[in-house]
Structure 1
Amino acid sequence: MPLAKDVALKVPAVRRLKEDRDALRTEVTQLTRETEKLRRQLILERDETSYDYVFIVTYGRTGSTLLQGLLNSIPGYLIRGENDGALEWMFESHRRMNKRIGTKQGSQPVNPWFGLDNYSPQEAADSIRRHLQQVFIKPEPDTRVTGFKEIRWWRRDLVETLEFTRQVFPGARFVLNTRNPEDVARSKWWAKYERDEALAKIADYDARLERAHRELGDLTYPLHYDDYVADPGVFEGLFTWLGESFDREQVDRVMATRHSVG
């Protein structure tokens, strides 16, 4: 058979195979998108209060990313990283609005505060939870405990901020993390401060964390970076507080993985 005729007979078949392949790829892509959309919808429809919440409360360069990795090694845990203090900024707005309730009447269209009478602090807290959950936390289908770690809690009274966090995230608990002040102050993260200023800030943060532990009690669990780096067995108490099984081998694997501590 002449070569030209042989090629002519084969090209349509090859073309059909290519078209079938492209159609299959398109179908798979569409199915993947629909599956992801359904997965996200199922998560959004799940009651946000059905999760347990844990937050890491600390300041910069204390080993909080290591703690984040440790908690995420527990099946069903999803502890996100920092969000630039989004919750604290929302708390400021919430606090200001609460001060206006009862002092400004907004029931009539002629009033400059029209609509304020409809403001509900609890509805606002629920809305903040939904926003943070949908935008920052984004739980997965197998998530049962979630939250985030944050180093920016210091604009206002820490106890008040954590109590507000529990209003937004019912049942929330807090891991309070500290580190040797001299080591913290030497890190590049703190280089913008003079040494004495850095140490003063760290001392202030440590004092606030100590007060939070005194006043909130078992809702908090204090940890010190130098203690658990020297002996990862220290984490057994944390796991007991969380109500989780302590797997020393898994903990050692996490500790052997480099995290952003320096």
Structure 2
Amino acid sequence: MESLFDAAHRCLNTRELDHKLYLTHQTAQMWHQDLLSIEYSQVPEPIGEPGRPAKPELVLPANVPKRRLGTKAGLVSLIHAVTHIEFNAINLAWDAVYRFRQLPTQYYSDWIRVACEEAHHFHLLRNRLLELEHDYGDFPAHNGLWEMARKTAFDPMVRMALVPRVLEARGLDVTPGIINRLRIAGDEKTVAILEVILHDEIGHVKIGSHWFQYFCNQRQLNADRTFSRLLNQYYTGQLSGPFHYEARQQAGFTETELRTLESMKR
């Protein structure tokens, strides 16, 4: 029986877009049919660059062009930015499966589910770009999500705290506003896609919250204090408000954690 970790590594390293989506769904299907084991003979490789196409060009966040929704170019640029986030999220989910071993079976089921849903999001957004006569890779993008994956590759607790619950959770704050602006602009096609993504992303962040709490409990750590400590220790960027309290509470944030985020926002 093939190891889940070998299959996840294959998904992670695949560069070609359609093949990555195909392998993602194939691996999930094999997992649900009990055709993959969580036995392993090799430790995970040190984290490197994930499989991705030659484009988009990766630049510093400050060098990503600003997006204004008043023009078609601005709309396409915005959709491309979200598409890039969803592509990165596929790799992040597979790395969460591949990198961290000897965990409950449900942990792997959860992150395989996330990988499949992120692949679906990417597919929807890429098709929307194609409808608008563009494609993924047409605009520069930044690598912030993967940089945080590098910083947290040594510990699943730190990964759960900072990737799903800080960087990916930012989508819970900003997506409702983007949806409102797109609805005013009359772009109901993109609105429908973003509504699917927002619904699913609450679930993804909730999975991150669940496993963060699990690791804290395993180590007899106070989760609220640990979240605050890890934010201060590993997150060097600036937290931007306002925060969508209702969505974050649905995703497993406590009042204390939300106060911690408020105290650190610029």
Q: Which has the larger radius of gyration?
A: 1
Higher relative contact order (CA 8 A, sep 6+): 1
The structure whose residues are more often helix, as a share, is: 2
Higher share of residues assigned strand: 1
**Considering the TM-score relative to the shorter chain, is it more than 0.5?**
no
Q: Please give the TM-score of this superposition, normalised by the length of structure 2.
A: 0.28
